[in-house]
Structure 1
Protein backbone atom coordinates (compact mmCIF):
# COMPACT_ATOMS: atom_id res chain seq x y z
CA UNK A 1 0.00 0.00 0.00
CA UNK A 2 1.12 3.60 -0.62
CA UNK A 3 2.74 5.05 2.52
CA UNK A 4 0.90 8.36 2.23
CA UNK A 5 -2.88 8.08 1.93
CA UNK A 6 -4.70 10.89 0.17
CA UNK A 7 -8.45 10.77 0.72
CA UNK A 8 -10.80 11.90 -2.06
CA UNK A 9 -14.56 12.20 -2.20
CA UNK A 10 -17.34 12.59 -4.70
CA UNK A 11 -19.94 15.23 -3.89
CA UNK A 12 -23.64 14.77 -4.48
CA UNK A 13 -25.01 16.58 -7.50
CA UNK A 14 -26.17 20.12 -6.77
CA UNK A 15 -27.17 23.04 -8.99
CA UNK A 16 -24.24 25.15 -7.77
CA UNK A 17 -21.46 22.54 -7.67
CA UNK A 18 -19.74 21.75 -10.97
CA UNK A 19 -16.60 20.02 -9.60
CA UNK A 20 -17.71 16.73 -8.04
CA UNK A 21 -14.37 15.03 -7.20
CA UNK A 22 -12.46 16.75 -4.43
CA UNK A 23 -9.54 16.01 -2.12
CA UNK A 24 -9.82 16.01 1.66
CA UNK A 25 -6.77 17.88 2.93
CA UNK A 26 -5.11 16.07 5.87
CA UNK A 27 -1.75 16.39 7.59
CA UNK A 28 1.26 14.21 6.76
CA UNK A 29 1.10 12.50 10.16
CA UNK A 30 -2.50 11.43 9.56
CA UNK A 31 -1.62 10.25 6.05
CA UNK A 32 1.03 7.96 7.53
CA UNK A 33 -1.30 6.65 10.24
CA UNK A 34 -4.05 5.90 7.73
CA UNK A 35 -1.73 3.68 5.66
CA UNK A 36 -2.23 0.82 8.11
CA UNK A 37 -5.74 1.69 9.24
CA UNK A 38 -7.95 0.36 6.48
CA UNK A 39 -8.97 -3.30 6.30
CA UNK A 40 -8.58 -4.29 2.64
CA UNK A 41 -7.36 -7.90 2.71
CA UNK A 42 -10.85 -9.26 3.44
CA UNK A 43 -11.82 -8.20 -0.09
CA UNK A 44 -8.57 -9.00 -1.88
CA UNK A 45 -8.18 -12.51 -0.43
CA UNK A 46 -11.85 -13.57 -0.44
CA UNK A 47 -13.42 -16.13 -2.75
CA UNK A 48 -14.76 -14.17 -5.72
CA UNK A 49 -18.30 -14.86 -6.97
CA UNK A 50 -19.78 -13.14 -10.00
CA UNK A 51 -22.61 -10.78 -9.08
CA UNK A 52 -26.05 -11.80 -10.32
CA UNK A 53 -28.35 -10.05 -7.86
CA UNK A 54 -29.46 -13.44 -6.53
CA UNK A 55 -26.71 -14.51 -4.14
CA UNK A 56 -25.82 -13.18 -0.70
CA UNK A 57 -22.14 -13.84 0.00
CA UNK A 58 -21.05 -15.65 3.15
CA UNK A 59 -18.06 -14.72 5.27
CA UNK A 60 -14.90 -15.11 3.21
CA UNK A 61 -16.72 -14.44 -0.06
CA UNK A 62 -16.93 -11.32 -2.20
CA UNK A 63 -19.04 -10.40 -5.23
CA UNK A 64 -17.50 -9.06 -8.41
CA UNK A 65 -18.54 -7.31 -11.64
CA UNK A 66 -16.26 -7.60 -14.67
CA UNK A 67 -15.74 -4.92 -17.34
CA UNK A 68 -16.64 -2.21 -14.84
CA UNK A 69 -15.46 1.33 -15.42
CA UNK A 70 -14.86 3.80 -12.60
CA UNK A 71 -14.98 7.01 -14.59
CA UNK A 72 -13.12 9.10 -11.98
CA UNK A 73 -10.10 6.77 -11.74
CA UNK A 74 -7.76 9.36 -13.29
CA UNK A 75 -8.84 12.23 -11.05
CA UNK A 76 -6.92 11.18 -7.91
CA UNK A 77 -4.35 13.96 -7.96
CA UNK A 78 -2.83 16.27 -5.36
CA UNK A 79 -3.76 19.12 -7.69
CA UNK A 80 -7.42 18.19 -7.21
CA UNK A 81 -9.50 20.94 -5.61
CA UNK A 82 -9.85 20.51 -1.82
CA UNK A 83 -13.19 20.22 -0.10
CA UNK A 84 -14.45 23.06 2.13
CA UNK A 85 -16.03 22.57 5.52
CA UNK A 86 -19.44 23.60 4.17
CA UNK A 87 -19.27 20.85 1.54
CA UNK A 88 -18.94 18.00 4.04
CA UNK A 89 -22.73 17.55 4.11
CA UNK A 90 -22.67 16.86 0.34
CA UNK A 91 -20.13 14.00 0.44
CA UNK A 92 -21.50 10.94 -1.37
CA UNK A 93 -18.59 8.56 -0.67
CA UNK A 94 -14.85 8.49 0.12
CA UNK A 95 -12.14 6.79 -1.92
CA UNK A 96 -8.37 6.54 -2.20
CA UNK A 97 -5.63 4.62 -4.00
CA UNK A 98 -4.55 1.50 -2.08
CA UNK A 99 -1.74 0.95 -4.59
CA UNK A 100 -1.08 1.79 -8.24
CA UNK A 101 -3.64 -0.77 -9.42
CA UNK A 102 -6.29 -0.59 -6.69
CA UNK A 103 -8.83 2.04 -5.62
CA UNK A 104 -10.91 1.45 -2.48
CA UNK A 105 -14.23 3.01 -1.50
CA UNK A 106 -16.21 3.75 1.64
CA UNK A 107 -19.83 4.87 1.93
CA UNK A 108 -20.59 8.15 3.68
CA UNK A 109 -23.72 9.55 5.31
CA UNK A 110 -24.76 12.11 7.92
CA UNK A 111 -23.88 9.78 10.77
CA UNK A 112 -20.20 10.23 9.89
CA UNK A 113 -20.35 14.02 10.16
CA UNK A 114 -19.14 15.55 13.43
CA UNK A 115 -21.47 18.43 14.25
CA UNK A 116 -20.64 20.94 17.01
CA UNK A 117 -24.33 21.26 17.94
CA UNK A 118 -24.34 17.62 19.10
CA UNK A 119 -22.13 18.42 22.10
CA UNK A 120 -19.45 15.87 21.38
CA UNK A 121 -16.95 15.74 24.23
CA UNK A 122 -13.29 14.67 24.09
CA UNK A 123 -11.16 13.77 27.10
CA UNK A 124 -7.79 15.46 27.62
CA UNK A 125 -5.75 16.37 30.72
CA UNK A 126 -8.36 14.97 33.13
CA UNK A 127 -11.07 17.14 31.59
CA UNK A 128 -13.77 16.78 28.96
CA UNK A 129 -14.00 19.59 26.43
CA UNK A 130 -16.52 20.25 23.66
CA UNK A 131 -15.70 19.90 19.97
CA UNK A 132 -16.40 23.29 18.42
CA UNK A 133 -15.60 22.56 14.78
CA UNK A 134 -17.33 20.49 12.14
CA UNK A 135 -15.53 17.32 11.08
CA UNK A 136 -15.96 13.79 9.80
CA UNK A 137 -15.19 10.24 10.89
CA UNK A 138 -13.45 7.66 8.72
CA UNK A 139 -14.13 3.97 9.28
CA UNK A 140 -11.55 1.21 8.78
CA UNK A 141 -14.10 -0.87 6.85
CA UNK A 142 -13.97 -0.83 3.05
CA UNK A 143 -17.22 -1.20 1.10
CA UNK A 144 -15.87 -1.70 -2.43
CA UNK A 145 -12.63 -2.11 -4.32
CA UNK A 146 -11.77 -1.45 -7.98
CA UNK A 147 -8.90 -3.29 -9.69
CA UNK A 148 -7.82 -0.90 -12.43
CA UNK A 149 -6.01 -3.17 -14.92
CA UNK A 150 -8.73 -5.87 -14.70
CA UNK A 151 -11.65 -3.42 -14.72
CA UNK A 152 -13.12 -5.48 -11.90
CA UNK A 153 -15.29 -4.19 -9.04
CA UNK A 154 -15.36 -6.15 -5.76
CA UNK A 155 -17.90 -5.68 -2.95
CA UNK A 156 -19.68 -7.67 -0.24
CA UNK A 157 -22.95 -5.73 -0.05
CA UNK A 158 -24.97 -4.63 -3.10
CA UNK A 159 -26.84 -2.21 -0.84
CA UNK A 160 -23.64 -0.37 0.11
CA UNK A 161 -22.05 -0.60 -3.34
CA UNK A 162 -25.16 0.92 -4.93
CA UNK A 163 -24.75 3.96 -2.67
CA UNK A 164 -21.43 4.59 -4.40
CA UNK A 165 -22.01 3.42 -7.99
CA UNK A 166 -24.97 3.31 -10.36
CA UNK A 167 -25.51 -0.45 -10.68
CA UNK A 168 -28.93 -0.33 -12.35
CA UNK A 169 -27.61 -2.17 -15.41
CA UNK A 170 -26.84 -5.13 -13.17
CA UNK A 171 -29.73 -5.21 -10.70
CA UNK A 172 -32.76 -3.03 -9.92
CA UNK A 173 -36.52 -3.01 -9.50
CA UNK A 174 -38.47 -3.25 -12.76
CA UNK A 175 -40.25 0.00 -13.62
CA UNK A 176 -44.00 0.18 -14.32
CA UNK A 177 -43.39 -0.03 -18.08
CA UNK A 178 -41.01 -2.98 -17.62
CA UNK A 179 -43.58 -4.80 -15.46
CA UNK A 180 -46.24 -4.22 -18.15
CA UNK A 181 -43.93 -5.47 -20.89
CA UNK A 182 -43.29 -8.55 -18.78
CA UNK A 183 -46.86 -9.64 -18.10
CA UNK A 184 -48.04 -8.64 -21.58
CA UNK A 185 -45.59 -11.09 -23.19
CA UNK A 186 -47.44 -13.47 -25.49
CA UNK A 187 -46.64 -16.51 -23.33
CA UNK A 188 -49.13 -15.26 -20.70
CA UNK A 189 -52.92 -15.37 -20.78
CA UNK A 190 -55.55 -14.09 -18.32
CA UNK A 191 -53.47 -10.95 -17.82
CA UNK A 192 -55.92 -8.25 -18.94
CA UNK A 193 -57.15 -7.36 -15.45
CA UNK A 194 -53.73 -7.08 -13.81
CA UNK A 195 -52.93 -3.91 -11.87
CA UNK A 196 -49.44 -2.55 -11.23
CA UNK A 197 -50.08 -2.16 -7.50
CA UNK A 198 -50.12 -5.96 -7.19
CA UNK A 199 -46.39 -6.07 -7.97
CA UNK A 200 -44.37 -5.23 -4.85
CA UNK A 201 -40.68 -4.35 -4.61
CA UNK A 202 -39.60 -7.98 -4.18
CA UNK A 203 -41.52 -9.07 -7.28
CA UNK A 204 -40.18 -6.19 -9.35
CA UNK A 205 -36.57 -7.12 -8.57
CA UNK A 206 -37.26 -10.67 -9.71
CA UNK A 207 -39.06 -9.50 -12.85
CA UNK A 208 -35.95 -7.49 -13.75
CA UNK A 209 -33.82 -10.65 -13.34
CA UNK A 210 -36.27 -12.83 -15.30
CA UNK A 211 -36.18 -10.34 -18.17
CA UNK A 212 -32.42 -9.84 -17.99
CA UNK A 213 -31.73 -13.59 -18.04
CA UNK A 214 -34.14 -14.31 -20.91
CA UNK A 215 -36.13 -16.79 -18.80
CA UNK A 216 -39.39 -16.51 -20.75
CA UNK A 217 -37.63 -17.48 -24.01
CA UNK A 218 -36.20 -20.52 -22.26
CA UNK A 219 -39.66 -21.45 -20.96
CA UNK A 220 -41.05 -21.29 -24.51
CA UNK A 221 -38.27 -23.54 -25.81
CA UNK A 222 -38.80 -26.15 -23.06
CA UNK A 223 -42.47 -25.66 -22.20
CA UNK A 224 -43.38 -29.33 -21.63
CA UNK A 225 -40.42 -29.87 -19.28
CA UNK A 226 -41.13 -26.64 -17.41
CA UNK A 227 -44.83 -27.49 -17.18
CA UNK A 228 -44.00 -30.93 -15.75
CA UNK A 229 -41.83 -29.39 -13.04
CA UNK A 230 -44.52 -26.80 -12.26
CA UNK A 231 -46.94 -29.70 -11.58
CA UNK A 232 -44.47 -31.18 -9.09
CA UNK A 233 -44.49 -27.84 -7.25
CA UNK A 234 -48.29 -27.62 -7.21
CA UNK A 235 -48.53 -24.90 -9.86
CA UNK A 236 -50.33 -26.95 -12.51
CA UNK A 237 -53.34 -24.56 -12.52
CA UNK A 238 -51.07 -21.82 -13.85
CA UNK A 239 -50.00 -23.74 -16.96
CA UNK A 240 -52.03 -24.54 -20.08
CA UNK A 241 -50.08 -27.46 -21.48
CA UNK A 242 -52.21 -27.79 -24.63
CA UNK A 243 -51.82 -24.18 -25.78
CA UNK A 244 -48.37 -23.77 -24.19
CA UNK A 245 -49.41 -20.69 -22.21
CA UNK A 246 -48.99 -19.52 -18.62
CA UNK A 247 -52.13 -18.36 -16.84
CA UNK A 248 -51.37 -15.20 -14.90
CA UNK A 249 -53.15 -15.38 -11.51
CA UNK A 250 -55.05 -12.39 -10.17
CA UNK A 251 -54.27 -13.05 -6.51
CA UNK A 252 -51.16 -11.22 -5.31
CA UNK A 253 -49.89 -14.20 -3.31
CA UNK A 254 -50.24 -16.49 -6.32
CA UNK A 255 -48.54 -13.90 -8.55
CA UNK A 256 -45.61 -14.01 -6.13
CA UNK A 257 -45.44 -17.82 -6.41
CA UNK A 258 -45.43 -17.68 -10.21
CA UNK A 259 -42.67 -15.06 -10.25
CA UNK A 260 -40.66 -17.11 -7.73
CA UNK A 261 -41.02 -20.14 -9.99
CA UNK A 262 -39.96 -18.27 -13.13
CA UNK A 263 -36.96 -16.83 -11.30
CA UNK A 264 -36.00 -20.38 -10.26
CA UNK A 265 -36.51 -19.68 -6.57
CA UNK A 266 -38.78 -22.68 -5.88
CA UNK A 267 -37.49 -26.24 -5.82
CA UNK A 268 -38.50 -29.70 -4.65
CA UNK A 269 -36.10 -31.82 -2.64
CA UNK A 270 -35.56 -35.29 -4.17
CA UNK A 271 -34.80 -36.57 -0.68
CA UNK A 272 -37.77 -35.39 1.37
CA UNK A 273 -40.11 -34.27 -1.46
CA UNK A 274 -40.47 -31.01 0.45
CA UNK A 275 -40.94 -27.80 -1.54
CA UNK A 276 -38.59 -24.95 -0.66
CA UNK A 277 -38.25 -21.28 -1.50
CA UNK A 278 -34.80 -19.69 -1.63
CA UNK A 279 -33.83 -16.03 -1.43
CA UNK A 280 -30.16 -16.63 -2.29
CA UNK A 281 -28.77 -18.88 -4.99
CA UNK A 282 -25.61 -19.35 -6.96
CA UNK A 283 -25.18 -21.07 -10.31
CA UNK A 284 -22.56 -23.83 -10.15
CA UNK A 285 -22.68 -25.11 -13.73
Structure 2
Protein backbone atom coordinates (compact mmCIF):
# COMPACT_ATOMS: atom_id res chain seq x y z
CA UNK A 1 0.00 0.00 0.00
CA UNK A 2 1.25 3.48 -0.83
CA UNK A 3 2.20 5.68 2.09
CA UNK A 4 2.75 9.42 2.45
CA UNK A 5 1.32 10.21 -0.98
CA UNK A 6 1.65 13.88 -1.88
CA UNK A 7 0.57 15.37 -5.20
CA UNK A 8 2.76 17.88 -6.97
CA UNK A 9 2.15 19.83 -10.17
CA UNK A 10 5.01 19.84 -12.66
CA UNK A 11 4.99 23.19 -14.46
CA UNK A 12 6.84 23.85 -17.69
CA UNK A 13 7.48 27.23 -19.26
CA UNK A 14 9.62 26.63 -22.31
CA UNK A 15 12.39 24.39 -20.90
CA UNK A 16 12.16 25.61 -17.31
CA UNK A 17 10.58 23.17 -14.84
CA UNK A 18 8.96 24.22 -11.57
CA UNK A 19 7.25 22.08 -8.93
CA UNK A 20 4.22 23.25 -6.98
CA UNK A 21 2.59 21.41 -4.12
CA UNK A 22 -1.11 20.56 -4.40
CA UNK A 23 -2.44 21.01 -0.85
CA UNK A 24 -4.89 18.29 0.21
CA UNK A 25 -7.11 17.92 3.24
CA UNK A 26 -6.52 14.66 5.14
CA UNK A 27 -9.71 12.96 3.94
CA UNK A 28 -8.97 13.73 0.30
CA UNK A 29 -5.36 12.62 0.65
CA UNK A 30 -6.51 9.27 2.04
CA UNK A 31 -9.03 8.80 -0.78
CA UNK A 32 -6.49 9.70 -3.46
CA UNK A 33 -3.95 7.32 -1.94
CA UNK A 34 -6.42 4.48 -2.50
CA UNK A 35 -7.21 5.65 -6.03
CA UNK A 36 -3.57 6.05 -7.04
CA UNK A 37 -2.76 2.66 -5.51
CA UNK A 38 -5.40 1.11 -7.77
CA UNK A 39 -3.96 2.96 -10.76
CA UNK A 40 -0.49 1.66 -9.86
CA UNK A 41 -1.86 -1.88 -9.58
CA UNK A 42 -3.55 -1.54 -12.98
CA UNK A 43 -0.35 -0.15 -14.50
CA UNK A 44 1.73 -3.06 -13.20
CA UNK A 45 -0.83 -5.88 -13.34
CA UNK A 46 0.50 -8.63 -15.62
CA UNK A 47 2.62 -5.94 -17.31
CA UNK A 48 5.62 -7.06 -19.31
CA UNK A 49 8.58 -4.70 -19.21
CA UNK A 50 10.34 -4.28 -22.56
CA UNK A 51 13.35 -2.18 -23.47
CA UNK A 52 12.38 1.06 -25.17
CA UNK A 53 12.27 0.60 -28.92
CA UNK A 54 11.28 3.68 -30.99
CA UNK A 55 10.08 1.48 -33.84
CA UNK A 56 7.58 -0.43 -31.75
CA UNK A 57 4.16 0.44 -30.39
CA UNK A 58 3.66 -1.54 -27.17
CA UNK A 59 0.67 -3.80 -26.71
CA UNK A 60 -1.81 -3.12 -23.90
CA UNK A 61 0.07 -5.37 -21.48
CA UNK A 62 3.54 -4.03 -22.28
CA UNK A 63 5.44 -1.16 -20.67
CA UNK A 64 8.49 0.50 -22.11
CA UNK A 65 11.48 0.46 -19.77
CA UNK A 66 14.36 2.92 -19.60
CA UNK A 67 17.22 1.97 -17.29
CA UNK A 68 19.59 4.55 -15.79
CA UNK A 69 17.12 7.32 -16.53
CA UNK A 70 17.98 10.52 -14.67
CA UNK A 71 15.08 12.75 -13.72
CA UNK A 72 15.40 16.52 -14.16
CA UNK A 73 17.37 17.87 -11.20
CA UNK A 74 14.44 19.80 -9.76
CA UNK A 75 12.38 16.58 -9.61
CA UNK A 76 15.21 14.28 -8.54
CA UNK A 77 15.92 16.55 -5.55
CA UNK A 78 12.51 15.83 -4.02
CA UNK A 79 10.93 12.87 -2.22
CA UNK A 80 7.72 12.09 -0.33
CA UNK A 81 8.87 13.98 2.80
CA UNK A 82 10.48 17.02 1.20
CA UNK A 83 7.64 17.92 -1.18
CA UNK A 84 5.50 19.00 1.76
CA UNK A 85 7.68 22.11 1.93
CA UNK A 86 7.19 23.16 -1.69
CA UNK A 87 5.30 26.32 -2.50
CA UNK A 88 1.59 25.62 -3.15
CA UNK A 89 0.23 26.14 -6.61
CA UNK A 90 -1.36 29.52 -7.35
CA UNK A 91 -4.71 28.64 -8.88
CA UNK A 92 -5.58 32.31 -9.49
CA UNK A 93 -2.58 33.01 -11.71
CA UNK A 94 -1.00 31.51 -14.82
CA UNK A 95 0.41 28.42 -13.14
CA UNK A 96 -2.47 26.01 -13.91
CA UNK A 97 -2.00 26.55 -17.65
CA UNK A 98 1.67 25.57 -17.30
CA UNK A 99 0.99 22.16 -15.72
CA UNK A 100 2.36 19.28 -17.83
CA UNK A 101 1.98 16.49 -15.27
CA UNK A 102 0.69 15.61 -11.84
CA UNK A 103 3.33 13.77 -9.83
CA UNK A 104 2.55 11.50 -6.92
CA UNK A 105 5.50 11.23 -4.52
CA UNK A 106 5.00 8.24 -2.22
CA UNK A 107 6.65 5.37 -0.38
CA UNK A 108 5.99 1.68 -0.86
CA UNK A 109 5.56 -0.98 1.82
CA UNK A 110 9.30 -1.63 1.93
CA UNK A 111 10.01 2.07 2.49
CA UNK A 112 11.39 2.71 -0.99
CA UNK A 113 10.34 5.80 -2.89
CA UNK A 114 8.16 5.62 -5.98
CA UNK A 115 7.07 8.40 -8.32
CA UNK A 116 3.66 8.07 -9.98
CA UNK A 117 3.06 10.23 -13.04
CA UNK A 118 -0.11 11.41 -14.74
CA UNK A 119 -0.01 13.52 -17.89
CA UNK A 120 -1.90 16.82 -17.73
CA UNK A 121 -3.16 19.26 -20.34
CA UNK A 122 -5.18 22.45 -20.36
CA UNK A 123 -8.32 20.37 -20.87
CA UNK A 124 -7.88 19.16 -17.27
CA UNK A 125 -8.40 22.69 -15.97
CA UNK A 126 -12.01 23.36 -15.02
CA UNK A 127 -12.81 27.05 -14.90
CA UNK A 128 -15.84 28.51 -13.11
CA UNK A 129 -19.02 27.90 -15.07
CA UNK A 130 -17.59 24.94 -17.01
CA UNK A 131 -19.00 22.27 -14.74
CA UNK A 132 -22.05 21.84 -12.52
CA UNK A 133 -22.30 19.82 -9.34
CA UNK A 134 -25.47 18.82 -7.53
CA UNK A 135 -25.91 20.18 -4.01
CA UNK A 136 -29.13 20.30 -1.98
CA UNK A 137 -31.41 19.73 -4.95
CA UNK A 138 -29.68 22.39 -7.04
CA UNK A 139 -26.79 22.54 -9.47
CA UNK A 140 -23.96 24.88 -8.60
CA UNK A 141 -20.58 25.79 -10.03
CA UNK A 142 -17.30 26.53 -8.32
CA UNK A 143 -16.21 30.14 -8.01
CA UNK A 144 -12.56 29.16 -8.44
CA UNK A 145 -10.66 27.04 -10.98
CA UNK A 146 -10.41 23.31 -10.34
CA UNK A 147 -8.16 20.49 -11.53
CA UNK A 148 -9.37 17.24 -13.07
CA UNK A 149 -7.15 14.21 -12.44
CA UNK A 150 -6.72 11.31 -14.84
CA UNK A 151 -7.99 7.81 -14.08
CA UNK A 152 -4.73 6.13 -15.14
CA UNK A 153 -0.99 6.55 -14.83
CA UNK A 154 1.20 7.69 -17.69
CA UNK A 155 4.46 6.46 -16.16
CA UNK A 156 6.08 5.14 -13.01
CA UNK A 157 9.61 5.91 -11.82
CA UNK A 158 11.69 4.02 -9.27
CA UNK A 159 14.39 6.39 -7.93
CA UNK A 160 16.53 3.66 -6.33
CA UNK A 161 16.93 1.84 -9.67
CA UNK A 162 16.60 4.95 -11.83
CA UNK A 163 14.05 3.01 -13.85
CA UNK A 164 11.27 4.64 -15.83
CA UNK A 165 8.27 2.63 -17.05
CA UNK A 166 5.85 4.21 -19.50
CA UNK A 167 3.15 3.34 -22.02
CA UNK A 168 3.61 5.85 -24.81
CA UNK A 169 6.75 7.66 -25.97
CA UNK A 170 5.07 10.84 -27.17
CA UNK A 171 3.04 11.34 -24.01
CA UNK A 172 6.00 10.61 -21.73
CA UNK A 173 8.18 12.93 -23.82
CA UNK A 174 5.89 15.89 -23.10
CA UNK A 175 6.71 15.44 -19.41
CA UNK A 176 10.35 14.38 -19.42
CA UNK A 177 12.79 14.93 -22.26
CA UNK A 178 13.42 11.54 -23.83
CA UNK A 179 15.13 12.95 -26.92
CA UNK A 180 18.45 11.40 -25.95
CA UNK A 181 16.82 7.98 -26.27
CA UNK A 182 15.04 8.66 -29.53
CA UNK A 183 15.18 11.50 -32.00
CA UNK A 184 12.99 12.00 -35.04
CA UNK A 185 14.72 12.95 -38.25
CA UNK A 186 14.84 16.69 -38.87
CA UNK A 187 14.34 18.29 -42.28
CA UNK A 188 18.12 18.35 -42.75
CA UNK A 189 18.37 14.71 -41.63
CA UNK A 190 15.76 13.69 -44.21
CA UNK A 191 17.58 15.57 -46.95
CA UNK A 192 20.83 13.84 -45.96
CA UNK A 193 19.16 10.42 -46.03
CA UNK A 194 17.62 11.13 -49.44
CA UNK A 195 21.09 12.07 -50.68
CA UNK A 196 22.25 8.50 -50.12
CA UNK A 197 23.93 7.05 -53.19
CA UNK A 198 21.26 4.35 -53.55
CA UNK A 199 18.31 6.76 -53.60
CA UNK A 200 17.07 9.10 -56.35
CA UNK A 201 14.45 11.41 -54.81
CA UNK A 202 12.00 12.96 -57.25
CA UNK A 203 11.61 16.14 -55.18
CA UNK A 204 13.69 16.47 -52.00
CA UNK A 205 11.94 19.60 -50.73
CA UNK A 206 8.48 18.12 -51.24
CA UNK A 207 9.45 15.14 -49.09
CA UNK A 208 11.55 16.85 -46.41
CA UNK A 209 9.79 20.16 -45.78
CA UNK A 210 6.98 19.89 -43.27
CA UNK A 211 7.29 16.11 -43.06
CA UNK A 212 4.78 14.57 -40.65
CA UNK A 213 5.86 12.84 -37.45
CA UNK A 214 5.22 9.48 -39.13
CA UNK A 215 7.69 10.27 -41.92
CA UNK A 216 10.24 11.82 -39.53
CA UNK A 217 10.13 8.68 -37.41
CA UNK A 218 10.52 6.31 -40.41
CA UNK A 219 13.40 8.25 -41.88
CA UNK A 220 15.17 8.10 -38.51
CA UNK A 221 14.56 4.36 -38.37
CA UNK A 222 15.86 3.95 -41.93
CA UNK A 223 19.05 5.77 -41.03
CA UNK A 224 19.58 3.71 -37.87
CA UNK A 225 18.87 0.42 -39.65
CA UNK A 226 21.73 0.94 -42.14
CA UNK A 227 19.70 -1.07 -44.67
CA UNK A 228 20.88 1.15 -47.51
CA UNK A 229 24.50 0.63 -46.49
CA UNK A 230 24.33 -3.12 -46.02
CA UNK A 231 22.34 -4.16 -49.11
CA UNK A 232 22.74 -3.44 -52.79
CA UNK A 233 19.95 -1.97 -54.88
CA UNK A 234 19.67 -5.32 -56.69
CA UNK A 235 19.22 -7.15 -53.37
CA UNK A 236 16.59 -4.67 -52.19
CA UNK A 237 14.68 -4.97 -55.48
CA UNK A 238 14.88 -8.75 -55.32
CA UNK A 239 13.44 -8.77 -51.80
CA UNK A 240 10.58 -6.47 -52.88
CA UNK A 241 8.94 -9.22 -54.93
CA UNK A 242 5.53 -10.03 -53.52
CA UNK A 243 5.11 -6.78 -51.59
CA UNK A 244 2.89 -5.00 -54.12
CA UNK A 245 5.56 -2.36 -54.77
CA UNK A 246 6.31 -0.57 -58.02
CA UNK A 247 9.93 0.40 -57.41
CA UNK A 248 11.46 2.45 -60.19
CA UNK A 249 15.19 2.47 -60.92
CA UNK A 250 17.14 5.55 -61.95
CA UNK A 251 20.29 4.91 -64.02
CA UNK A 252 21.15 8.45 -65.08
CA UNK A 253 24.27 8.58 -62.91
CA UNK A 254 25.63 5.31 -64.23
CA UNK A 255 24.63 3.31 -61.16
CA UNK A 256 21.29 1.93 -60.10
CA UNK A 257 19.36 4.10 -57.66
CA UNK A 258 15.90 3.57 -56.16
CA UNK A 259 13.53 6.34 -57.18
CA UNK A 260 12.01 7.88 -54.04
CA UNK A 261 8.57 9.26 -55.02
CA UNK A 262 7.33 12.66 -53.90
CA UNK A 263 3.71 11.50 -53.49
CA UNK A 264 2.93 10.52 -49.91
CA UNK A 265 1.16 7.20 -50.53
CA UNK A 266 3.92 5.49 -52.55
CA UNK A 267 6.61 7.17 -50.40
CA UNK A 268 4.97 5.77 -47.27
CA UNK A 269 4.81 2.27 -48.71
CA UNK A 270 8.43 2.39 -49.82
CA UNK A 271 9.53 3.52 -46.36
CA UNK A 272 7.49 0.75 -44.75
CA UNK A 273 9.18 -1.80 -46.98
CA UNK A 274 12.69 -0.44 -46.40
CA UNK A 275 12.03 -0.44 -42.64
CA UNK A 276 10.68 -4.01 -42.83
CA UNK A 277 7.23 -2.98 -41.64
CA UNK A 278 5.39 -5.01 -44.28
CA UNK A 279 4.87 -8.77 -44.10
CA UNK A 280 2.71 -11.49 -45.59
CA UNK A 281 0.57 -13.76 -43.46
CA UNK A 282 1.94 -17.28 -43.32
CA UNK A 283 -1.51 -18.78 -43.98
CA UNK A 284 -3.55 -16.21 -45.91
CA UNK A 285 -0.51 -14.62 -47.61
CA UNK A 286 -2.27 -11.29 -47.27
CA UNK A 287 -0.07 -8.21 -46.97
CA UNK A 288 -0.02 -6.63 -43.52
CA UNK A 289 1.57 -3.65 -41.82
CA UNK A 290 3.34 -4.16 -38.51
CA UNK A 291 4.25 -1.68 -35.80
CA UNK A 292 6.94 -3.95 -34.41
CA UNK A 293 10.66 -3.88 -35.11
CA UNK A 294 11.39 -6.24 -32.24
CA UNK A 295 13.13 -9.44 -33.28
CA UNK A 296 11.00 -12.48 -32.49
CA UNK A 297 12.52 -15.38 -30.59
- Same fold flag (TM > 0.5): yes
Q: Give the 5 Å matches for 1:77-116.
A: 77=82, 78-85=84-91, 86=93, 87-99=95-107, 100-116=112-128
**Distance (whole Å) between structure 2 residues aligned to residue 7 and residue 113 of structure 1:** 16
CA contact (8 A) 2:63 2:166 kept: yes
Q: RMSD value over aligned CA atoms?
A: 2.9
CA contact (8 A) 1:210 1:263 kept: yes
1:187 maps onto 2:198 in alignment: yes
Length-normalised TM-score, structure 2: 0.81
2:156 equivalent in structure 1:
145
1:231 maps onto 2:241 in alignment: yes
1:62 equivalent in structure 2:
63
Aligned residues: 278
Q: Deviations over 1:9-56 (max 9, x none)?
A: 2112169xx771221122222222211111112222311222223333
Give structure 2 stretches of 5+ with no counterpart. Answer: none
CA contact (8 A) 2:104 2:116 kept: yes
Moved more, 265-274 or 47-56: 265-274
2:19 equivalent in structure 1:
21
**Residue 269 to residue 127, structure 1, CA distance change in 2 (3 Å):** closer
Q: Give the match's secondary structure for 1:12.
A: strand
Length-normalised TM-score, structure 1: 0.84
1:214 maps onto 2:222 in alignment: no
Moved more, 32-41 or 120-129: 120-129
Give structure 1 stretches of 5+ with no counterpart. Answer: none
Q: Give the match's secondary structure for 1:35.
A: helix
